[in-house]
Homo-oligomer: A and B are copies of this chain.
C-alpha cells in the first residue's frame, strides 16, 4: 500500500542518487513497509536501497522480505554485514531464509554465524520441511514454579529482550521440561507476592518439533491460542510457535488443495518462480492420465459408430450432454472436497450426502432437461434440421441430461469420500478428473437412451 503512494518518490531519489534524503524517508516507515518497497523496485536497485538502512532496521526489514529479494540483497552484501544480520535475525525467520537457499549457500551462511547461533540454525534445519521445528523459535522466557510474580517480572525485565513474545511465559522444571504455560495476563493481574505454582492456567498444550505444520494449525484453530510451546520426546521445551505463522501455513494448505482440484500437482513455489520445465512437469502427469482416461471415450464411441452412421444428428448433441455431466460433477466434488478439508463433513455423513446429492442431481438434471427439450422443440418449429422425429429426439436429449447430471453429482460427491476412505487425498478428485470419468459414462448413458427411445424411428 505504501509502495503505491511513495514508490515514485523513492524511484526519483534513487535515480537522483540522493541517498541522504532516501535514508531519511525510509527511517519513518515500518519494516514491513520498507520490505514491500524493496520488493517493488527493480532487482538491481534492491541492494542499494537496503544498504541505506540503519543496522537495527536492516535486520527487521530482512525478516519481512520475500525469499527472492532476500537472496538478491544477501548476495550484494559484504561478509561482515551478512554475518551481523544473520546473527541478529529471529531464528524462525532465519530458518525460512536458509531453507530457500541451495545447499552450498546454506553451508556458507552457517559459517557466518556465531557458534551459538550456528547450533540453533543447524538444529532447526534438521527438522523435516513442513514440520513444526522449521517454524519454531527458541527465544522464549521460562520461569520456575517456586518463584513469585515479582521474581517473574524481574526475570522478564532482565532476560526477556530477545524473546519472540512475552504474551506467554513457560514454567519448566530443573531439567527444562515443560510444566505449564501462563498467559501474561495471569501474571499481571495478580499481587506481586503470588507464587507461580498458585497460578493455574488451562493445562499446557504442546506440539512436538516433528509434528507437521498442519497439526499445529488445527490446534491453534481449535484452542484459539496465540502461541504454542514445542517440546521434544522427553517433554523438554525447545521453542515456541506463534499464530501469525499459521496464517501462512493455512494459505499454503489452501493453495495446495486448489491446485490439486485443478488437476495440477502442488507447485510448492510461486507461479512466477516456477521454471517452464517444472511447470510442464507438474501439469503433464495429470494431463496425460486424464488423456488416457479420455481415450476410452474413443473406444466407447467406436462401439456406437453404427448408431452415429444412421443418425449423425446424435453426434451434434454429444458435447452438450457429456459436458453437462462433467459440470455438475465438478460442482459436487468441489463442495464435498472443501467441506471435508475444513471439517464440516465427516466420512460418517456419507448417507446424508448421498440423499442430498441424489435430489440435487434430479432437480438440476430436470432443469437442464427442460431447457434442452424446449431448445430442440422450438428449433424444430422453424427449422427442418431434426426431421420428423424431433419429439423423440428432444425426449432422448432431455432424459439423457437428467441421467448424466444425476450420475455427475453422484460420482462427483462420492469420489472424494471414497478417496478419503482409502486414505488418499480427496482433493485429487479434481474437476477435470470427475469430468473425464463422467464423459466416458455419460456417452454410454446417452447412446443407450437413444437406442431405446429412437429404435424403429431414427435408429
Residues of A participating in the B interface, judged by any CB pair closer than 8 Å: 30-32, 36, 64, 153, 156-157, 160-161, 163, 165-167, 183-185, 188-191, 202-203, 205, 217, 220-226, 242-244, 246-248, 250-251, 254-255, 257-259, 261-264, 267, 270-272, 276, 279-280, 283-284, 286-288, 290-292, 294-295, 297-298, 301-302, 305, 308-309, 312-313, 315-320, 322-324, 326-328, 330-331, 333-339, 342, 344-345, 349, 352, 356, 359-360, 363-364, 367-368, 371-372, 375, 385, 405, 430-432, 435-436, 439, 443
Partner of A344, one of B30, B247, B270, B436: B270
A224: B residues at CB distance < 8 A = 32, 64, 244
Q: Indicate if the CB atoms of A259 and B334 lie closer than 8 Å.
A: yes
Partner of A315, one of B223, B301, B363: B301
Q: Indicate if the CB atoms of B316 and A298 lie closer than 8 Å.
A: yes
Copies of this chain, complex-wide, total 2
A386 to chain B minimum Cβ distance, whole angstroms, is: 10
A220: B residues at CB distance < 8 A = 244, 247
Known pairs A247-B247, A360-B276; A258 contacts B261 (CB<8 A): yes
Partner of A291, one of B255, B261, B316, B368: B368
Q: Indicate if the CB atoms of B272 and A349 lie closer than 8 Å.
A: yes
Q: Indicate if the CB atoms of B246 and A247 lie closer than 8 Å.
A: yes
A248: B residues at CB distance < 8 A = 221
A217: B residues at CB distance < 8 A = 247
A262: B residues at CB distance < 8 A = 261, 330-331, 333-335, 431
Closest 4 CB pairs of A and B: A262-B334, A271-B339, A254-B254, A431-B431
Q: Indicate if the CB atoms of B305 and A313 lie closer than 8 Å.
A: yes
Q: Once bound together, how far apart are the Cα atoms of A261 and B297, in whole Å?
A: 26
Q: Indicate if the CB atoms of A344 and B272 lie closer than 8 Å.
A: yes
Q: What are 18 of the A-B contact pairs (CB < 8 Å)?
A: A31-B202, A32-B224, A36-B222, A160-B185, A221-B244, A221-B248, A226-B242, A262-B333, A263-B331, A272-B352, A284-B363, A287-B364, A291-B372, A294-B320, A301-B317, A305-B316, A319-B443, A326-B435
A203: B residues at CB distance < 8 A = 30
> What secondary structure prevails in chain A residues at the interface with B?
helix
- Of A190, A323, A328, A436, the most chain B CB neighbours within 10 A belong to A323
A298: B residues at CB distance < 8 A = 316-317, 319-320, 375
A294 to chain B minimum Cβ distance, whole angstroms, is: 5
A225: B residues at CB distance < 8 A = 244
Q: Indicate if the CB atoms of B301 and A263 lie closer than 8 Å.
A: no
A283: B residues at CB distance < 8 A = 328, 331, 360, 364
Q: Indicate if the CB atoms of B323 and A188 lie closer than 8 Å.
A: no
Q: Indicate if the CB atoms of A319 and B291 lie closer than 8 Å.
A: no
A91 to chain B minimum Cβ distance, whole angstroms, is: 15
A293 to chain B minimum Cβ distance, whole angstroms, is: 9
Q: Indicate if the CB atoms of B319 and A294 lie closer than 8 Å.
A: yes
Known pairs A258-B338, A271-B344; A286 contacts B331 (CB<8 A): yes
Q: Once bound together, how far apart are the Cα atoms of A29 and B301, in whole Å?
A: 61
| Given A259-B338, A290-B323, 4 more pairs with CB closer than 8 A | A31-B202, A157-B189, A287-B324, A290-B327
Known pairs A202-B30, A254-B254, A301-B319; A189 contacts B156 (CB<8 A): yes
A352: B residues at CB distance < 8 A = 272
Known pairs A431-B330, A432-B326, A432-B431; A259 contacts B335 (CB<8 A): yes
Q: Indicate if the CB atoms of B316 and A264 lie closer than 8 Å.
A: no
Closest partner residue, chain B, to A273 (CB atom): B344
Q: Indicate if the CB atoms of A226 and B226 lie closer than 8 Å.
A: yes
Known pairs A220-B244, A298-B320; A267 contacts B309 (CB<8 A): no
A255: B residues at CB distance < 8 A = 338, 342
Q: Once bound together, how far apart are the Cα atoms of A313 and B375, in whole Å?
A: 27
